[in-house]
Chain A
Amino acid sequence: MAEHGAVLLEARGIDKSFFNVKVLDGVDLTLRTGEIHALLGENGAGKSTLVKILTGAYRRDAGTLRLAGEEIEPLSVAEAQALSIGTVYQEVNLLDNLTVAENLYLGRQPLRFGMVDRRRMRADARALLARYGLDVDPDETLSAYSVAIRQVIAIARAVDLSGRVLFLDEPTASLDAREVEMVFSILRRLRAEGLSIVIITHFLDQVYAIADRITVLRNGRMVGSAAIADLPRRDLVSLMLGRELEAETHRRPVEVAVDDGPAAFRFRNFGRRGSVRPFDMDIRHGEVIGIAGLLGSGRSETAFLLFGIDKADSGTVEIDGKPVTLSSPVDAISHGFGFCPEERKTDGIVADLSVRENIVLALQARRGWARPIGYRESLALAEHYIKALDIRPPDPERPIKFLSGGNQQKAILARWLATDPRLLILDEPTRGIDIGAHAEIIRLIEKLREEGVALVVISSEIEELVAYASRVVVLSDRTHLRELTGDEINAATIVNAMAMAAGEAA
């Protein structure tokens, strides 16, 4: 085995496009023997695509791959394994209903006279797992063990199959702190044995706890790669978000005509175990509350809680001073809430229905089935919003699935505007849409604020939040960490607050 620190796997200038959209653009990655390498980036940065190319699941369009100096061309996951490159995917790729031993040796069972040699398989499994400090019964079905132990078994299998390079996609996503430490201690041992490990994760604490090097992707490009000691947390976050803190934008003078009276919407100690820690939030008419946080910080979970999709298990809600319960979207809507979800395709549009039907859907649902919105009325509503929001093509009867992302987003906004909402919750309203629609949606947010609608906007575009928010709540580790107001609302402060670990708060 090569000595520690020698370059083992080298990717140069990797390109990949899907349907003419470039998802990887000249990406480089250098992996050394005996290092743990964190691959970071926000959603859609191209991490998964890169890993799939390196592990043979996808073909690259351009670029070279070298393993220990030799060019390689893995055409399948099996070929990559044969080249000693193994993977453990996010959804642990084991079979719950088989035994531990069967999972470890699936597809390569030791044979004896053409039959599976169960005795040897058991003995091998026990020996293999003992090396990981696991004392599990190889004959027990996998589902009997915790996710953490399954994760270790998956790692054991991958290492046994491949041997030199291991890719781990979100290995700790559903583990608690103690289990994370158990998995990490195993990774450290594997590193000491000379294995090279690439780990994808959204938990920055864990990156600093275990990684030796960091490579950051953004929008399909490699934007930085450095040893852990050379990349403090603050710089890492600004790399991931793609902004130079030096080039500071001015705090715009938002004339927030917010009255000082009691807030219309008061959430107190509002939270849900395993989702978001209890938080307080006051929302007034005519103000935009920005929510900033990295992926996994609890920002969408906050929206789900506010809109009653996930039921809060602590805290109270008051609207106009009266206590209310929010146990379903129907409840929330009856109080005048609206919610544009981040996952537009699965949670937002009703693909086969027309633009008109999508626009009237929320209003119709609130009215109930027995009080239909007549065809003329719905057409008038749809045409009004198609014109007001410039939805294209301006055809109310076209199935919404044939519209571009930006126009779909506008139609979903129109759906809520048609209900004349008092509080609108927008989760990433500008993600994945073209520049023109982007600007229009921001203008719309500002217009709604002026009209007195209360808004909660989640966005990973910091400039956007700075531009329209009257307050910005910064989330980290499922905790509402800080609330920034007034002059504190600028990109530097927001990014600094995002970079701060939950423990460092206050």
Chain B
Amino acid sequence: MRKLKRLAPQIVALVLVLFAVTLAVPGFLSISVQNGRLYGSLVDICVRAAPVALLAIGMTLVIATRGIDLSVGAVMAITGAIAATLVADNQPLVVVLLVSLGIGLACGLWNGALVALLDLQPIIATLILMVAGRGIAQLVTGGTILTFNDPAFSFIGSGALFGVPMPVLIWLVAGLVVGLVVRRSALGLLIEAVGVNRRASSLVGVRSRFLIVAAYAISGLCAALAGMIVTADIHGADANNAGLWLELDAILAVVIGGTSLSGGRFSITASLIGALIIQSLNTGILMSGWPPEFNLIVKAAAIVVILTLQSPTVATALSGLRATFGSASRSNSHEPTGKAGARAK
């Protein structure tokens, strides 16, 4: 129940966006089965949301530690380039997958080391790889768009299992695995503790460095998965454009998901819904026939509205309005405005 309450704003926002698009595009919600797999706009949204959804999983953990990972788009480009090179070299699929994931992990560890061991500010530490990463990817592909024709690898991007497109399956499974590992172990609690108060956490013996490195490492792994999906989907690696600006969408998905950039409490599920909201806006605007030059503006406007509704200031103002206009029954709210003095010592 508590979990549902936490997710309510994101679910409501998603439903509202889908509803708005349905008004403009009749038949938007219809799903059919063709050739043994699911088809329809909703399925399409889930497929196209895959890269941002995957990035958002790792980004959620990083942001929960009070960090940020700007490099994920570039890491997508690196891993995509490496995967394409290996595939073009006719390496077995297992090798391609393991090497690509290993590279993503290494990128994450590099970021984590800069942040946790050298105490660099996360935004600067990951900016390094954000800039350098695209250069590395260009070196790997030799500056060209590296294409390949390999049905096995392409299956990751365009295949389907039990009727569910592979990209969707991958982000669902990744979200489930990371979510379970984090919440069934104590990682989640400890990451939240470090994000809220790193000093106090260290003083009770929480190994904050390890946790921070782990968060960036998971972020790197997620970026590697996203990079492979994009590469498999287009049958090639484009070092310049793969994952371009996606780090910003991933951050946005996390923020829409209600995880604060100042660290602490996080919800991977909410971030995934955030990614779906972003993709629904993208797809919806395209399908509704708006002139494409409006796309970015409409998307920005919708996001402003969503974030405004979530902002603590608005929430306080709304609960203040409620308090003013009667319904005194809601007196167990957690905002002890009257206690501010007592807490100020």
Contact = CB atoms under 8 A, between A and B. Distances in A.
Interface in A350-375: 350-353, 357, 360-362, 364-373
A26 interface: no
A20 interface: yes
A52 to B, nearest CB: 16
Interface residues of B, number: 31
A415 interface: yes
Contact of B334 (A307, A330, A402): A402
Given A351-B197, A372-B186, A402-B334, A21 B205 contact: no
A18 B201 CA distance: 30
Contact of B185 (A18, A339, A370, A432): A370
Interface stretch (B28-36, B245-253, B307-315, B335-343): B335-343
A384 to B, nearest CB: 19
B193 A339 contact: no
Contact of A404 (B192, B197, B342): B342
A365 B197 CA distance: 14
Contact of A373 (B186, B192, B205, B345): B186
A48 to B, nearest CB: 13
Among B184, B185, B186, B187, chain A packs the most CB atoms within 10 A around the CB of B186
Contacts of B343: 401, 404-405
Given A370-B185, A372-B185, A405-B345, A350 B200 contact: yes
A398 B187 CA distance: 21
Nearest to A338: B204
B37 interface: no
B264 interface: yes
Given A329-B202, A352-B264, A372-B184, A346 B197 contact: yes
Contact of A402 (B184, B197, B202, B339): B339
A398 B193 CA distance: 15
A16 to B, nearest CB: 13
Contacts of A361: 189, 193, 201, 204, 206
A309 interface: yes
Interface string A13-30: 000001111000000000
B322 interface: no
A341 B200 CA distance: 9
A357 B185 contact: no
A18 B186 CA distance: 40
A255 interface: no
Given A339-B203, A372-B184, A402-B339, A349 B197 contact: yes
B199 interface: yes
Interface string B165-199: 00000000000000000001111011011001101
B190 A365 contact: yes
A333 interface: yes
Nearest to A346: B199
B205 A350 contact: no
A350 B344 contact: no
Interface in A391-407: 398-399, 401-402, 404-405
B207 interface: yes
A347 interface: yes
A352 B184 contact: no
Interface in B297-345: 334, 336, 339-345
Nearest to A334: B205
Contacts of B345: 21, 44, 405, 432
Contacts of A362: 204-205
Contacts of B204: 329, 333, 361-362, 365, 415
Nearest to B340: A19
Interface string B19-41: 00000000000000000000000
B204 to A, nearest CB: 4
A242 interface: no
B265 interface: yes
Contacts of A405: 343, 345
Contact of A347 (B186, B200, B340, B341): B200
Contact of B193 (A18, A357, A367): A357
Contacts of A365: 190, 201, 204-207
Contacts of B202: 329
A370 B190 CA distance: 11
B201 to A, nearest CB: 6
Among B196, B203, B204, B207, chain A packs the most CB atoms within 10 A around the CB of B204
A224 interface: no
A368 B207 CA distance: 9
Given A20-B341, A369-B190, A353 B205 contact: no
A346 B186 CA distance: 23
Contacts of B264: 352-353
A369 B185 contact: yes
Contacts of B341: 18-21
A402 B340 CA distance: 9
A348 interface: yes
A368 B187 CA distance: 9
List the 10 closest A-B pairs by CB distance, nearest first. A19-B341, A372-B186, A365-B205, A333-B205, A362-B204, A365-B206, A20-B341, A369-B186, A352-B196, A352-B264
9 contacts: A21-B344, A21-B345, A330-B205, A350-B197, A350-B201, A351-B196, A357-B192, A360-B189, A402-B339
Interface of A: 18-21, 44, 307, 309, 329-330, 333, 339, 341, 346-353, 357, 360-362, 364-373, 398-399, 401-402, 404-405, 415, 432
